[in-house]
Amino acid sequence: MSTEKENKCSTVRVVLDAMGGDYGPSETVKGAMRALDADNIEIILVGDKDQVEAELANYDLAGKPVRIESSEGKIGDDEHPLQAIRSKPKSSILVANKVLKSGEADVLVSMGSTGASMAGAVLALGLLEGLDRPCIGGPFQGLAPRTVLVDMGSNIDCRPGMLLNFAALGVVFARKFLEIPNPTVGLLSVGAETAKGNKQVQESHQIFQESHLNFVGNVEGMDFFTQKADVIVCDGFVGNILMKYTEGLGSALFQFLGKELSSRMDPEDVQSFAASLWQMLNMPRTMGGPLFGVNGAVVLGHGSCKGEEVAGAINTATRCVRLDMVESMRQELSIMNRQETPSSPN
DSSP 231-279: EEE--HHHHHHHHHHHHHHHHHHHHHHHHHHTTTS-HHHHHHHHHHHHH
Confidence at residue 339, expressed as pLDDT on a 0 to 100 scale = 64
Q: Which residues of 71-130 form beta strands (DSSP E)?
A: 107-110
335 assigned to some structural domain: no
| pLDDT, average across residues 26-41 | 93
108, β-bridge pairs: 15, 298
Tell me which residue of 83, 145, 80, 144 sits closest to 114, measured CA to CA.
Answer: 80
pTM over 0.75: yes
339 assigned to some structural domain: no
Residue 146 shares a structural domain with residue 225: yes
| pLDDT, average across residues 206-216 | 93
Residue 83 shares a structural domain with residue 163: no
Which residue range(s) make up the domain with 57? Answer: 1-131+293-323
47 assigned to some structural domain: yes
Residue 110 shares a structural domain with residue 158: no
Residue 197 shares a structural domain with residue 248: yes
**% of the chain exceeding 70 in pLDDT:** 91
Residue 237 shares a structural domain with residue 226: yes
Of the two residues 245 and 214, the one the predictor is more confident about is: 214
Residue 272 shares a structural domain with residue 306: no
CATH, residue 53 = 3.40.718.10
Domain boundary among 229, 260, 283: 283
166 assigned to some structural domain: yes
CA-atom Rg of the chain in angstroms: 20
| pLDDT, average across residues 324-336 | 92
Contact predicate 109/29, CB 8 Å: no
Residue 173 shares a structural domain with residue 303: no
Q: Which of 213-217, 273-277, 293-297, 301-305 has the lowest mean pLDDT?
A: 273-277
- What's the pLDDT tens digit per position in 101-121? 999 999 999 999 889 999 999
Residue 125 shares a structural domain with residue 225: no
Residue 29 shares a structural domain with residue 117: yes
- What's the pLDDT tens digit per position in 58-82? 999 988 999 999 999 999 888 898 9
Residue 98 shares a structural domain with residue 191: no
Q: How confident is the model at residue 196 (pLDDT cuts 50, 70, 90)?
A: confident
Distance of alpha carbon 32 from alpha carbon 197, whole angstroms = 44
Residue 69 Cα distances to 88, 107, 168, angstroms: 16, 15, 35
Per the structure, the count of domains in the chain is 2
330 assigned to some structural domain: no
Residue 6 shares a structural domain with residue 114: yes
Q: Which of 69-83, 257-271, 317-331 has the lowest mean pLDDT?
A: 257-271
342 assigned to some structural domain: no
337 assigned to some structural domain: no
Domain boundary among 283, 307, 341: 283
122 assigned to some structural domain: yes
Distance of alpha carbon 342 from alpha carbon 344, whole angstroms = 6
Q: In what order do the strands lie in the sheet with 231-233?
A: 66-70, 41-47, 12-17, 107-110, 297-300, 289-292, 135-139, 148-150, 231-233, 184-188, 214-219
Residue 98 shares a structural domain with residue 142: no
Residue 7: pLDDT above 60? no
